[in-house]
Structure 1
């Protein structure tokens, strides 16, 4: 307004100048809606509320460099603005800078001083749950994953006896009041196994993974959870990645509780989990059960085949009411178009989309948009391994 003219207007007229009705998306904009970006054709804002849908899950499919991590970081920030808690499984250390900026918590297994304890018990368990029994059963899965082999019935019996001894030695019983005591570790378990005739061989096989500086050695207890938690798995050795991922996913599942708090669980580079049987089963279970606990699972992946060609991957898509599809590799365009029933124009878009351009799909809603960030958000979302290749508009 170079002239500097002033106008007096009524409230309705003033409100109309703020274009947040999101006319490109059917229905009214709720208080929990977040800004995804601007419509590629109309320029209007695209607001979306995953929490108002039949389930709160999403899946983001796009090739490397298409902007999927950028968009995911934007939503994480905006969910935090709205009071939700966010937990991220981060295989490539892309979210650590974001977490540090907002005062989040970064748990980095494989780095000095970080410890994991799959035998730990909650200090405030959910009413009516037998958490101690669950821990003992879960320990069998952990040991089998650690050793990459199935235990015999005799070894399983020895393991359960060793677990009982380890918990008793730590002062922990079926009485939930004792669960505030420091829990035994896998190292303690191995010590008790070594004292049994049938457990000695099992303890010997576990020994290489349980040294004093190992991931599972005794150490400080976990910090109080922050609104944003990032599990940075980039430093975990390939040999330990399956068991570490299993323990991390279990920790996340236990934190997703029906206490009225919205929680978004983000799994980036999910193709790595979908190639592991137990991790893929966990994703499938969370996808089907998250809504009961007011949680949403956000699966982000570049490997379309691992999602579309597996039963568990299709289960994750089938239980995702929100779907983001970005640029696809040429060989993936047709499978994606069939799976999501894309029109010819939409098929062309995912074949040629620029970085940060996405299709938002949810039932009858099909909207093409470009991610939109403030300058500060843009800077934060460009940090990490994708800084030079992924981005959007600012």
Structure 2
């Protein structure tokens, strides 16, 4: 189909709620007007009729490691389009390709190759890179390669930043490691979102990190501590909030959760979303390179993973750890509704408007107001996906 001029929506997501019976006008890939449904506009080839459906903004994911057995490491460059198209066809129209812990040579080359790809008009909007590692805690390495972890190192960070040519948008690190606070200050000064993850930081260490400019927690509750008892200098075991407790208590901190039914208990999502409203919680897929793969053993992008028939992946290094997820972000939205009991409006906000806000993209992404990019999903009433529209063009229809 050629570029659309109009979309007729039975129900349309807006920040305030769902609007009934809306006609969107698209011009040059953006939303140029809203109006009540009227007679079908002329030029039927440019009209998408979703009067019996739900229209929501294109989803925005802050953490996508790969798909179909491939990662965003440089040796998988020929498969980048396939990874992007896997997530795009499932409704993720904007996302941060993510690189995990690896040796310096691999990360430096991968950052350079991926930065060039992001800047070269890929099928989806890739506004930058999420670098998760290598400055992570060995105690909380999870599925990351422990041999490739590195203590915070200013010159090494500068080499990564240079290789990425300004494309790094998020850096996940362990703020309790020696030297982390200086890296946090340096990154925050450059406008990069600094996130705590794969970390055993105490509440006090998180407060110091937030004072230095840290503002986010990556996949909260996974490879990070919940409130618990810990030894105190006085000799007894006292209350320690940990990373999750810091997220609960500190208004400066926001965070992501992986809502695949395995990483984060669904019963906790609604109260956490309420506590951290309006912008303090978002959904992410943390899709692993094995997303979309059948059950089996895989080695890709620095992750050794076993995909199980139950719909989850575990680390082949240590089966106690999950190895990212096998879902897409739309799967997380559906599970937010069916497992966590969120309204569809809230779930979409956590997967579109809120991540767009944290990436500084709120003018164009995460909503369908006038001036926004014409990126949207058409959902059936059962939340199955009917169509994906990017820049006013239908790129996938089911």
TM-score (norm 1): 0.29
Greater Cα radius of gyration, structure 1 or 2: 1
More strand by share: 2
TM-score (norm 2): 0.28
More helix by share: 1
